[in-house]
Amino acid sequence: MATLAPEQRRKRELVEGAIRLMAPALDLVLAIGERVSRLVEPEDPEYYPPRAGDIEPPATTRAETRAGD
């Protein structure tokens, strides 16, 4: 990374400070939005979890493990 000029460093610190100040408010907005979305539509019929917890992965056979070597 190139060395920053003093003016660039000041702007960077200013922007990072603003982000630090806004972070709690943005977290609050996200939390409120999550609650509202659950109240409006408690269950999402189009939601599919990435993997169901009760399904076991398929067992590998000896032939499949030898083929991978």
Each residue of 30-43: pLDDT tens digit? 999 999 988 988 88
Euclidean distance between the first and final Cα of the chain, in Å?
Answer: 42
Report pTM.
0.49
> Looking at per-residue confidence, does 16 or 42 come out higher?
16
Q: What is the mean pLDDT of residues 41-61?
A: 72
The Cα 57–Cα 11 span in angstroms is 51
Instruction: Give the pLDDT of residue 19.
Output: 96
> Rg (Cα) of the chain, in Å, rounded?
25
Residue 54 tokens read as: 């009760």
